[in-house]
């Protein structure tokens, strides 16, 4: 068992550190040699079919659902196709309207989650084309979908998903760029820029991991909290949801993710002296708005940890602590922003003596509805 962990104390930590490789493996073979185009041959839709897409649904559970939320932002932003994201157990019971030109994307690390599989079947029954994003070759989801994008994260053992999530994000980016290019929504220079940035994500992820001691130190403080808030806007909000889930799952500390702009409509009432708030500020166009949100919680005594992009030191004026992540294309930032949050959840759980790899009441793959 110890050998399988290659010297790490837990599978989760090993899997967090495997992310640079997982990122590389998931991109490999899916872009042209000159970095100008996404190939993604496994999605066998013709250009005409791609141009004819009117609507996309994304459906998944847990962490994969959070990857779907990032997918929505990115596909809508780059490819300009309306996207709805549903938790799989909700999708099938809410009578979704599936008309010609609807694509359904199903995301599942294991490819065996009962609710997700049922959502896939419902989508197909109603005639939608289904693209599956899964980490397990030959899984049920992969066998029943029309097209399969495999995430090449390698086996994920820890119940809390880490490298599967980051590779699901990469799959969303690849698909979004492909759809955007075919539909003429993205200029070749723009595609090239984003692809180049994608190729640098592994090195940038490594840089964050090399600095992991920062989160370990902060975790000592967090471990004593009863409740933690994660704030963000846009893609940062999507990452906040995943950061909050990670912390809940393995440290059993109550955590909530909030769209920062929604704070004053309720949550602000809960902010008092020393309440920990993790604030994500990676999205440049929303940076100033985030700074004022941080100011709002700071003024009420919250202990703010800001996650910012290298160079954006202004945030230090309002946040008690700031941790920096390397700069990348704003759309790709979730891949980097989630890593400190994974480390934070991990070290907090260790600090609290929790069973990190096998949290109470949870299973790696839920095959019952």
C-alpha pair distances (Å), 79 with each of 55, 57, 179: 11, 14, 6
Residue 110 found at the interface with ligand G6P (CB under 6 A)? yes
Helix (H) or strand (E) holding 120: helix 114-125
Candidates 116, 140, 162, 167; binder of ligand G6P (CB under 6 A) is 116
The secondary structure of 205-264 as a DSSP string is: HHHHHHTTHHHHHHHHHHTT-SEEEEEESTHHHHHHHHHHHHHHHHH--EEEEEEGGGGG
Contacts of 319 (CB under 8 A, 6+ apart): 279, 294, 298, 304, 305, 306
Residue nearest to ligand G6P as judged by C-beta position: 62
Question: Least distance to ligand G6P from the beta carbon of 64, Å?
Answer: 4
Q: Is 63 in the site for ligand G6P (CB under 6 A)?
A: yes
CB of 186 to ligand G6P, least distance (A): 29
Smallest gap from Cβ 346 to ligand G6P, in A, equals 14
Q: Is 366 in the site for ligand G6P (CB under 6 A)?
A: yes
Q: 277 pairs with which residues across the strands?
A: 229, 304
For 104, list phi and psi in degrees, rounded to 5.
-115, 125
Q: Looking at beta carbons only, is 238 or 304 nearer to ligand G6P? A: 238
Does residue 59 bind ligand G6P (CB under 6 A)? no
Kindly tell me which residue out of 151, 161, 298, 342 binds ligand G6P, with binding defined by CB under 6 A: 161
**Active-site residue, 163 included:** no
Q: Which residues contact 352 (CB under 8 A, 6 or more apart)?
A: 223, 251, 252, 253
Kindly tell me which residue out of 80, 264, 362, 369 binds ligand G6P, with binding defined by CB under 6 A.
362
CB of 155 to ligand G6P, least distance (A): 12
Interface ranges with ligand G6P (CB under 6 A): 61-64, 108-110, 113, 116, 159-161, 362, 364-366
**Active-site residue list:** 364
């Amino acid at each position: 068992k110890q050998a399988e962990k290659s010297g790490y104390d837990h599978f989760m930590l090993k899997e967090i550190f495997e992310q640079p490789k997982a990122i590389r493996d998931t991109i490999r073979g899916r872009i042209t040699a000159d970095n100008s185009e996404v190939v993604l041959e496994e999605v066998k839709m013709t250009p005409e079919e791609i141009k004819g897409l009117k609507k996309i649904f994304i459906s998944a559970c847990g962490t994969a659902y959070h990857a779907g939320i990032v997918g929505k932002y990115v596909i809508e932003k780059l490819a300009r196709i309306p996207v709805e994201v549903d938790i799989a157990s909700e999708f099938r019971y809410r009578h979704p309207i599936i008309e010609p030109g609807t694509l359904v994307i199903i995301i599942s690390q294991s490819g065996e989650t009962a609710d997700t599989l049922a959502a896939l079947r419902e989508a197909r029954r109603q005639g939608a084309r289904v693209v599956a994003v899964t980490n397990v070759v030959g899984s049920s989801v992969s066998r029943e979908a029309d097209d399969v994008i495999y995430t090449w994260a390698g086996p994920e053992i820890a119940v809390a998903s880490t490298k599967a999530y980051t590779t699901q994000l990469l799959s969303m980016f690849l698909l979004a760029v492909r759809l955007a290019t075919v539909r003429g929504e993205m200029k070749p220079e723009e595609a090239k820029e984003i692809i180049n940035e994608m190729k640098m994500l592994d090195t940038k992820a490594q840089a964050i991991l090399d600095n992991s001691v920062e989160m370990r130190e902060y975790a000592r403080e967090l471990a004593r909290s009863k409740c933690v808030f994660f704030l963000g806007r846009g893609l940062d909000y999507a990452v906040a949801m995943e950061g909050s889930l990670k912390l809940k799952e393995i440290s059993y500390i109550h955590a909530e993710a909030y769209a920062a702009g929604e704070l004053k409509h309720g949550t602000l009432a809960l902010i008092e002296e020393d309440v920990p708030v993790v604030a994500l500020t990676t999205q440049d166009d929303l940076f100033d708005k985030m700074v004022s949100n941080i100011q709002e919680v700071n003024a009420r005594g919250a202990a703010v940890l800001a996650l910012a992009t290298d160079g954006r030191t202004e945030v230090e004026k309002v946040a008690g602590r700031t941790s920096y992540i390397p700069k990348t294309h704003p759309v790709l930032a979730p891949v980097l922003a989630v890593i400190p949050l994974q480390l934070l959840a991990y070290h907090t759980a260790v600090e609290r003596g929790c069973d990190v790899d096998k949290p109470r009441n949870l299973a790696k793959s839920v095959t019952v509805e």
